[in-house]
Structures are given as structure tokens and as C-alpha cells.
Amino acid sequence: MSDYRRYFIPGAMYFFTVVTYQRRPILTMDAGRQCLRNAISEIKQNRPFDLFATVLLPDHWHWVMALPSGDADYSTRIKRIKETFSEAWLAAGMPESPVTPAQKKKGMRGIWQPRFWEHTIRDEADLERCVDYTHWNPRKHEVVRRVQDWPWSSFHRFVEAGQYDLDWGGEIPKAVTDKCEWGEP
């Protein structure tokens, strides 16, 4: 049995990774992006948070979330985003992967892998490392040759704000060369 414990710190920032079921490449499809965008907007209405940095890959999503002061309930937000996405995905007639009878009995659907990977951001240097990793991810997975060429990333917002040069990411950022798994096996 795993001894992994999540940290719940009110008002903190967290880095997350969620992955599609069987790593199906559905998130960058028009329907996937629309379902996720709508799910995020809907959940933010009742459970506010700041989507500080984000990148959407075909089969997984990384993001940095800032919670309001006094609130540490990121788990419910993630659960509701995944549920709301799944409901909209299925309502749009989009397919899901088959699940085993045991998974079905637990209420699992063939859209998202169960659970998520979380990292509590400790300080400014850790925040920079997590944001850099988020924006570097399309290069890591070799879906683009330049970070700026990936459209589904907050990288472009960070460039507009002057926090990155447009040509950032030509080489792997020093901050993300550690052995952290980042929720990607």
C-alpha cells in the first residue's frame, strides 16, 4: 500500500497532471478543448481558482492552480472538472474506451485515468520550475520544434506579459532537468 500523502494548504499554488484513459489523444481535438474549456468555466463559478499556467497535450493536461485564501480543496475541483468534461463529451456523442466490469462497478468511465498527480509549490523558484515545465512540455513530447508553435498553452500569455521571450525553450530549461516524474510515467 502506498504511503503517499497529499498536502492541503489553504491559498497555495499546486502543479497538476491529469491523463486521459489509456492515453487516448482526445484533449486537443475541437470537442476535447471545448469540453475542457466549458468544464473549467463552470467549476470556477462555484469553486473559484486561478489557472495560472496551463498546457494541453493530446493525452494529458498540466496546469498550475492558485487557490483562494482559506481554501485547500483542489481535489473536488479536479474531480468536478473531469466529471463535467465527461458528461459534455458523452452528450456530444464522442466515444469512450471500454472499461473492465470491475472498473464499471466502481463507476469509472473510459475517458480519464483515475486520480491525478499533484505537487505543492513551495516557493518562487519552485513555481518557476513548474511553469517552465508546463510550457516546455510540447517540446519534451516532440509535438513541436519550438515552444511558441504549440497553440494550447499559456506560454503565449506569458510572452505577452514579458515573462518569456518568444524564442524561449530552444533548449531544455535548467529548472526542469531534475528527476521529478511530473505525473508522466
Q: What are the structural domains of the chain?
A: 13-123 (3.30.70.1290)
The whole-model pTM stands at 0.93
Give the model confidence (pLDDT) of 125-166 as tens digits: 999 999 999 999 999 999 999 999 999 999 999 999 999 999
Determine how many CB atoms are found less than 10 A away from the CB of residue 159: 17
Give the model confidence (pLDDT) of 3-43 as tens digits: 667 889 999 999 999 999 999 999 999 999 999 999 999 99
Among residues 53, 47, 55, 51, the alpha carbon closest in space to that of 72 is found at 47
Cα R_g (the chain), whole angstroms:
17
